[in-house]
Amino acid sequence: MGILEEYERGRLFFDYGDYITAAQILGPVVDEAPDDVAPRLLLARAYYHSAQLHRAEEQLRRVLDHDPAEHYAHLMLGRCLQRQSRHDEARPHLRIADAMGIGGTTA
């Protein structure tokens, strides 16, 4: 199976709420295409929704290292840090997301 097919398969599991399986599928996709933001964000979301918050944080920070203006990654990172009771660290990311007009969006 090619990388695109694996990404779509991971998205399918994500859409059905099987976040752990989605993350297992998307991990190798991200390894094969490390600069592609879409699979990395979906992997971060799968980690977030399966309460693998440290892994989600790692992926989101990598997205922001590559593209500091990726507004959705700021929102997700802020929410991820909030769930870890790291509110002071979350605040700047949530402010950036809010300034970009997505503060009310759910992760």
**Residue 101 pLDDT greater than 90, yes or no:** no
Burial of 100 (0-12, 13-18, 19+ CB in 10 A): middle
pLDDT of residue 102: 75
What are 56-93's pLDDT values in tens digits?
999 999 999 999 999 999 999 999 999 999 999 999 99
The full DSSP string for 53-65 is HHHHHHHHHHHHH
Band of residue 107 on the pLDDT scale cut at 50, 70, 90: very low
